[in-house]
């Protein structure tokens, strides 16, 4: 059975015609006119910019900013006047018509919203080629999730602290009867596992965000962000800090690797670990023996609980010291300053030149402040 061809934007919205600002001003005012507005849900229209692209593909003209309005595209459909706009709290469709036409106009608007939703697939198809090109050229922005990832890590870190202090959530008595044994260590281990998983996600995120701030980064032609994200955390680390075998960056890599191997990697892919620690081979007349034999003592599974309060303290100390190193590093400090501000990161040449000029002039804090104010203005649509 042949696959149904995708309808174009023009086919889906065939009844939409552009109207200029001049034509809008000259449009006769009718005392019998009424109107209504529909909210276009975020679930159905998750990317407002796709709808803006659709409007532009139809040849509609943007009326520009307004109070709490980012953009607005007027159009006509028969005798009805429509307006698709992005307000601070989401997309809207406004329609003006005669009072006699109100019921039919509301029915038309319902079908229009459905066709507008379908047009997003057509827009995506048109944009696929451009997306690949922009990725290759580094003309992309990576959303900065530093704050969210760090708060996740801190949530489980606090959970581990409370658990080891005897203030955790696991009760003394089990609901099925009896008492929990080693409940502090049990809950502490649960939280340390989650804490380390969250932290190494943070590490990888920070390393990816740092690229445009590094003097050693040659640009997207050699290493674009898409390719970089696909690497392991250790390869990301080596790329950013180099492969030399001495110095603070190398020492922290060794410490972080030990933590990753014991508290993250072992459990990240089904808790099987490495070197056959959880695979037992059968010895006739003897029983089952772990595949790595006596080396199993070095595996987390060998301990009754893989993490003690001393292990927790050492992990926290390593993470805290590494972050202090990042903040004070001559090579990484500027990247850390931008990343911890929460601002998104671009990878195009214009952004790199802007950042490096600000660093050379000692104006990075000014650039961060100005960029933050600009972001806030757009987020609040204070035009």
221-267 pLDDT tens trace: 777 888 899 999 999 999 999 876 778 999 999 999 989 887 776 65
Of the two residues 108 and 298, the one the predictor is more confident about is 108
Q: Confidence class of residue 138 from pLDDT cuts 50, 70 and 90?
A: confident
Q: Can you say how many angstroms the Cα of residue 246 is from the centroid of all Cα atoms in its chain?
A: 33
Question: How much is the pLDDT for 216?
Answer: 84
Are 383 and 63 in contact by the 8 Å Cβ rule? The answer is: no
Tell me the β-bridge partners of 83: 74, 94
Task: Specify the pLDDT at position 299.
Answer: 56
The pLDDT value recorded for residue 265 is 63
Tokens of 69: 């309005």
Q: Is the pLDDT reported for residue 297 higher than 60?
A: no
Locate all alpha helices (DSSP H) within the chain, ordered by sequence: 9-12, 21-26, 48-57, 102-137, 146-164, 183-210, 225-229, 233-241, 248-259, 266-268, 309-328, 333-340, 349-360, 364-380
> Mean of the pLDDT values across residues 70-83?
94
Mean pLDDT confidence for 144-163: 96
Q: In this structure, what DSSP letter does residue 212 have?
A: G
**Cα angle, residue 17 at apex, residues 11 and 18 outer, rounded to 5°:** 130
What's residue 294's pLDDT?
Answer: 62
Question: How many residues belong to the chain?
Answer: 383
What mean pLDDT comes out for the span 147-171?
92
For the residues 180-191, what does the mean pLDDT come to?
83
Q: What is the mean pLDDT of residues 114-138?
A: 92
Q: What is the pLDDT of residue 371?
A: 93
Spatial separation of the C-alpha atoms in residues 207 and 189, rounded to whole Å: 27
- Backbone phi and psi for residue 83, each to the nearest 5 degrees, phi listed first: -150, 120
Q: To the nearest 10°, the Cα dihedral for 220, 221, 223, 228?
A: 60
Helix (H) or strand (E) holding 82, with range, is: strand 80-87
pLDDT over 90 (residue 3):
no
> What residue ranges do the domains of the chain occupy?
9-137, 146-348
302 has pLDDT over 50: no
pLDDT on residue 36: 94
| Closest by CA position to 61, among listed 112, 115, 21 | 21
The SS3 of residue 39 is strand
For residues 82 and 167, give the distance between their C-alpha atoms in angstroms, rounded to a whole number: 60
Rounded Cα–Cα distance for residues 291 and 277 (Å): 6
Secondary structure (3-state) at 173: strand
* Residues 6+ away with beta carbon under 8 Å from 69: 85, 86, 87, 88, 381, 383
Question: Span 27-39, mean pLDDT?
Answer: 87
**In this predicted model, which residue has the larger pLDDT, 301 or 336?**
336
How does pLDDT run across 42-61, given as a tens digit for each residue? 999 999 999 999 999 999 99
- The whole-number pLDDT of residue 324 equals 96
Residue 81: count of CB within 10 angstroms of its CB: 18
Question: Rounded mean pLDDT of 209-217?
Answer: 90
Q: Which residue has the tokens 């961060």?
A: 368
**CATH of region 9-137, choose from 1.10.390, 1.10.357, 2.60.40, 3.30.310:** 3.30.310
CA 204 to chain centre: 12
Tokens of 57: 């593909």
Tokens of 258: 């030990």
Residue 275: is it exposed, middle or buried by C-beta count within 10 angstroms (0-12/13-18/19+)? middle
The arithmetic mean of pLDDT across residues 296-319, rounded, is 70
Query: Does pLDDT of 5 surpass 70?
Result: no
- If phi > 0 it is left, if psi is from -120 to 50 it is alpha, else beta; for residue 381 that is left
pLDDT at position 93: 97
Say if residues 302 and 296 touch (Cβ distance below 8 Å): yes
CB 209 within 8 A of CB 215: no
Do residues 142 and 345 touch, judged by C-beta distance below 8 A? yes
For residue 67, is pLDDT > 60?
A: yes
Please report where in the chains the tokens 């059975």 appear, as a residue.
1
Dmax of the chain from CA atoms?
A: 98
Higher pLDDT, 267 or 366: 366
């Amino acid at each position: 059975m042949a696959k149904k061809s995708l309808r174009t934007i023009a086919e889906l919205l065939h009844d939409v015609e552009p109207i200029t600002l001049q034509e809008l001003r000259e449009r006769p005012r009718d005392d019998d006119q009424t109107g209504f507005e529909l909210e276009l849900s975020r679930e159905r229209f998750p990317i407002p910019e796709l709808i803006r692209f659709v409007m532009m593909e139809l040849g509609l003209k943007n009326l520009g900013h307004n109070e709490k309005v980012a953009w607005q595209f007027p159009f006509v459909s028969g005798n009805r006047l429509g307006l698709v706009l992005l307000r601070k709290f989401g997309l809207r469709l406004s329609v003006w018509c005669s009072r006699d036409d109100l019921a039919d106009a509301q029915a038309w608007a319902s079908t229009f919203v459905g066709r507008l939703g379908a047009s997003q697939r057509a827009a995506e198809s048109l944009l696929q080629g451009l997306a690949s090109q922009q990725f290759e050229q580094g003309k992309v922005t990576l959303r900065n999730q530093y704050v969210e990832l760090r708060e996740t890590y801190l949530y489980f870190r606090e959970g581990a602290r409370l658990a080891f202090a005897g203030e955790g959530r696991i009760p003394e008595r089990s609901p099925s009867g009896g008492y929990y044994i080693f409940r502090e260590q049990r809950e502490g281990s649960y939280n340390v596992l989650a804490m380390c998983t969250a932290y190494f996600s943070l590490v990888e995120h920070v390393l990816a965000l740092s690229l445009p701030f590094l003097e050693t980064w040659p640009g997207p032609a050699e290493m674009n962000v898409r390719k970089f994200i696909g690497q392991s955390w250790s390869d990301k680390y080596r790329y950013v800090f180099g492969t030399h075998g001495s110095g603070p960056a190398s020492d922290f890599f060794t410490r972080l690797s030990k933590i990753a191997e014991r508290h993250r990697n072992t459990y990240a892919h089904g808790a099987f670990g490495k070197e056959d620690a959880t695979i037992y081979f059968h010895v006739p007349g003897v029983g089952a023996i772990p595949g790595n034999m006596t080396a199993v003592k070095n595996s987390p599974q060998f301990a009754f609980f893989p993490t003690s309060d001393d292990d927790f303290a050492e992990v926290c100390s390593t993470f805290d010291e590494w972050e202090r190193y990042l903040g004070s590093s001559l090579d990484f400090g500027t990247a850390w300053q931008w990343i911890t501000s929460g601002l998104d990161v671009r990878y195009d040449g214009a952004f790199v030149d802007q950042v490096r000029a600000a660093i050379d002039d000692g104006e990075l804090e000014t650039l961060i402040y100005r960029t933050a104010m600009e972001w806030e203005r757009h987020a609040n649509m204070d035009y």
